[in-house]
Structure 1
Amino acid sequence: MFTKSIKIVFITLALVLIAQSAEAQCAMCKATAESNAQGGGGIASGLNEGILWLMFFPYMLLGGVAYLWYRHNKKTKNQVANEN
C-alpha cells in the first residue's frame, strides 16, 4: 500500500513538471505566430488550422464511442423485450 502511494505521488509530480515546461512553449508559438501574421505570413493561419484538426479527432472518437454505446444498448433492450 505504501509503495502504491509513492508511485501516485511520483506520477503526479512528473505530470505537474511536464505541464509547466509545456506551458512555456505556448508563449513562444504565440509570439512567432503574431509576428508572422503582422508580416503577412501564413504561419498563423496554418497554426490555427492545425489546432482545429487536433480538436476534431477527439470529438470524432467520442462521438463514435457514444454511437456504439447507444447502438449496443438499443440492441440489448430489444433482445430483453423480445425474450419477455
Structure 2
Amino acid sequence: MKRGIVFLVVALTLVLPLALQAQCSICTKTAMQLGEGPAKGLNGGILYLMSAPLAIMGVIGFRWWKREKQVSQ
C-alpha cells in the first residue's frame, strides 16, 4: 500500500509540472510577442532551473524524515 502511494506521488510530481506555466506575467507577455517556439523554450528553461532547488529540498526533507523515523524507534 505504501509503495503504491509513494509511486503515485512521484508519478504525479513528475508529470504535472510539464503542463504548468512557470512564467511571471512580464515573461509571459514577452514570450507571447516572440511566438510559440520561444515561449515553449522559455517555459522549459524556467522549469529546468527550478528542478535543482526542488531536488535539493527533496533530499533534505527525505533525510530529515529518515532521521526522525530512526530517532522515534
TM value normalised by structure 1:
0.46
Q: Identity across aligned pairs (percent)?
A: 35
Among 34, 37, 40, the alignment partner of 1:45 is: 40
Unaligned runs of 5+ in 1: 1-25, 79-84
**CA RMSD, Structure 1 to Structure 2 (Å):** 2.1
Name the residue aligned to 1:54: 49
Unaligned runs of 5+ in 2: 1-24
Structure ID, larger Rg: 1
One-letter amino acid of the counterpart of residue 63, structure 1: G
Among 57, 66, 69, the alignment partner of 1:74 is: 69
Among 59, 70, 73, the alignment partner of 1:64 is: 59
> In the comparison of the two structures, how many residue pairs are matched?
49
Q: How much has 1:54 moved relative to structure 2?
A: 2.1
- Structure 1 runs of 4+ aligned residues shifted over 4 Å read none
TM value normalised by structure 2:
0.51
